[in-house]
Structure 1
Amino acid sequence: MAVNAVLKQRMLDLGLTQEELARQMNAALLRITGSPGDVSDRTVRNLLSGATRRPIARTRRALEAVFGCPLRELGFDLPGTTASPEDPVERRQFIAAGPALVLVSAAPVAGAPRRVGASDVERLHRRFADVITKDHRHGGQLVIEHKAAALADEALSLQASGNASQRIRRQVYSSAAAFRSSAMWAAIDGRRFDDAVRHMHAAQQLAEMAGDPYIKFRIWSHAGTMYRHMGRPADAAAVNEVARKLGITRQDPMFASLGLARKGAIHGVAGDGTATRRAFEQAQDAMLRADPDDHRPVWMNAFYDQAELDSLALSAYLALGDFERAEAHGHRCLAALRPHMHRSKAIATARVARAQLEQGDVDPAVASAMSVPADAATRHPRVVGMLHAFGVRLKAVAPESTLAHTWDQYARETWRQPA
């Protein structure tokens, strides 16, 4: 029984332990089949020791996906023409996987593998920046979610299309994780929480494979927001703490600030006013300590600034019923928002309208609500929900007022109609 020296060297090249290889193979099987893998440390030991010379189809596909090369280049014997007892089952599983299997495993089997390099990574970065731009303009749309998920699959197919250095492979995995986290965010923003959870699990696995703390922060921080919107503040606080404990929050106060601001928003949903105020004070202090010239990921630079901090405070104080403080943060947010933040402007405006209404300022509240752009008011699920709740509350506060009738007419003619 000869040790598989080729596989051992491949693992050393990628810095993989037996446990890490098993985890990556299981992640690959989840992507390929849609079901979790069952590869264990013992499976990997058998592959390394030579006890397993001809892996079954399921194991073979996972190995090819992780290493991005055919089985013959990993020191194994090619499967014979006689199928093992498990082959028919495996064949049905992989045929059922359809296009996903093609993306992951077809490229390395045919022809000489290409070299995956920095230009490929740069192209992925440009496409990610485009996803971010579309998200800030439209937000929550199913087409954005599907596009981001498709780009994640494209990045993974790139892994299987040729040879690459360990550094490039990690960057490609990082890009795939980034695309999945954008799909996750679009689903959160669109109130498609089951889909968001599915994207979250895939993104977390890819981020682990990439070893990228920045994208890990984004995913766990998004998870905190997801559970907050689902009305589960305890879960939101727990996953937000995972993000806040990553080393980058100690290295860069801007990440610390975002983690604290989202912590404050979670405390608001939980009804803890003291903790909310403390978190936002700390978030503001951290932001003031941050170096504006530090190099940060494009997704961080694109959205987190003073306006976003005030937007989170607006949300928190609105949840607490501190409507005066909420409105003050809302006006600060709107004054500081960058021009490309269309979705954020619509959300903040709808929240300001609600804060004004709850203070009895019906006239400015209706004016604010009517200023929400029609495309967001009709197409963005969060904004649609906020404006519907505003209308219901307006009827309760001023049921027979002229302004209530004005709003009803406006709603019928404008934001309830397809934009």
Structure 2
Amino acid sequence: MNQLVEADDRQGGHKSLATAALEGRAEVLNLQQRNASERVRRALYALAAEYTTIAAWSCIDLRDLDTAQRHLHQSTTFAGLSQDPPTVMRVWINMAMLAYQRKNWPEQLAAAQAANASPAARRDPFFSSMSRLRLALAHATLADPQAAKRALGAAQETLQKAGEDERPRWTAFYGPAELNHLAAIILNHNGQSAEAEATAHRALAKIPAGFQRNRALTTCQLALALLRQGEPEQATATAATVFTIMDGAPLPGRMRTLIGDFHRDLLRLAPSTTYARNWADRMRDEWSRA
């Protein structure tokens, strides 16, 4: 399972990753047919929930949202049977992410609130920070910038209190870099493009080398922030580095959506410039190759 998480860190969600996760789940559920203690059964259900959530997350990243929804409903059942707080927390976080991709803002807020009320968030400042950050994004998408600012500040404060405890491998993505990445998204939603630019730069300075997909996503946010400040040429040069960062790997659907948003805004602001035409040519090449 850890190898699947590492593959996701490098190149994002893809069909083979989702398939491998579901195969892992099938093996785990087969083990449930044997005699085992209650503790072992709960651990197996936690593992089944983890595998199913990896499959769901891959589908979210691919923007196969209906399939992701089905997997997350299954994850919820397995996580409940596991009684494992971090596993339950992960399912709620993914529910919030899926609702964000669907633009279902009330459901996104409800899932973030459930994550924030979960035992993992109550016991560990690390998980509390993660859930508060999802709350901040939910408030931003619901056009409540003050609530978003409060939740973001709380996420930053609680992360500073988090100890170096041992946590599941899937949590490795979260830290100051991811917090700043999400903060850039929140600030872009709030119309604070200059602040979003600065925050994206801070995120890029701290993203670990193995997190290719996260670096590319943060670069998308930086390009959008530059574009919204009236710097289309610099924004275009920044957006073009996304393809270099991904190093030939197909862009996950979530990233393609962000790049598509940038493309439309660029052609609306500077349609006849040389750099915009060059960008459009690059887009056609990359999309056809994918």
Show the counterpart of 2:32. 159
Q: Would you say 1:299 and 2:159 are equivalent positions? A: no
Q: TM-score, normalised by structure 2?
A: 0.95
Show the counterpart of 1:389. 261
Q: How does 1:20-419 map to 2 (within 5 A)?
A: 128-160=1-33, 162-291=34-163, 293-300=164-171, 302-373=172-243, 375=246, 378-413=250-285, 415-418=286-289
**272-281 or 144-153, which moves further after superposition?**
144-153
Distance 1:370 1:164 in 2: 53
Deviation of 1:317 (Å):
1.6
SS of corresponding position for 2:289:
coil
Does structure 2 retain, via aligned residues, the 8 Å contact 1:377–1:383?
no
Extract unaligned runs of 5+ from structure 2.
Answer: none
SS of corresponding position for 2:288:
coil
Distance 2:86 2:64 in 1: 25
Deviation of 1:294 (Å):
1.1
Could you say if the C-alpha distance between residues 157 and 377 of structure 1 is closer, same or farther in structure 2, counting changes exceeding 3 Å?
A: closer
Amino acid at match of 1:391: H
**329-338 or 140-149, which moves further after superposition?**
140-149
Deviations 1:254-305 (A, max 9, x none): 10000001111111111111111111110000001111x21211111x2100
Could you say if the C-alpha distance between residues 370 and 377 of structure 1 is closer, same or farther in structure 2, counting changes exceeding 3 Å?
A: farther
Higher relative contact order (CA 8 A, sep 6+): 2
SS of corresponding position for 1:145:
helix
Distance 2:131 2:80 in 1: 20
Deviation of 1:373 (Å):
2.5
Distance 2:288 2:238 in 1: 19
SS of corresponding position for 2:100:
helix
Bigger Rg, which one: 1
Does structure 2 retain, via aligned residues, the 8 Å contact 1:223–1:239?
yes
Extract unaligned runs of 5+ from structure 1.
Answer: 1-127
Amino acid at match of 1:211: Q
Does structure 1 retain, via aligned residues, the 8 Å contact 2:187–2:196?
yes
**136-145 or 251-260, which moves further after superposition?**
136-145
Does structure 1 retain, via aligned residues, the 8 Å contact 2:112–2:138?
no
Does structure 1 retain, via aligned residues, the 8 Å contact 2:11–2:249?
no
Does structure 2 retain, via aligned residues, the 8 Å contact 1:377–1:384?
no
Does structure 2 retain, via aligned residues, the 8 Å contact 1:145–1:184?
yes
Q: What is the CA RMSD across the aligned residues, in angstroms?
A: 1.5
Distance 1:323 1:152 in 2: 42
Deviation of 1:377 (Å):
7.7
Does structure 2 retain, via aligned residues, the 8 Å contact 1:180–1:203?
yes
SS of corresponding position for 2:103:
coil
**215-224 or 310-319, which moves further after superposition?**
310-319
SS of corresponding position for 1:163:
coil
Distance 2:144 2:195 in 1: 15
Does structure 2 retain, via aligned residues, the 8 Å contact 1:378–1:417?
no
Amino acid at match of 1:305: G
Distance 2:279 2:63 in 1: 25
Amino acid at match of 2:166: H
Deviation of 1:378 (Å):
4.2
Structure whose residues are more often helix by fraction? 2
SS of corresponding position for 1:416:
helix
Deviation of 1:417 (Å):
3.2
Q: TM-score, normalised by structure 1?
A: 0.66
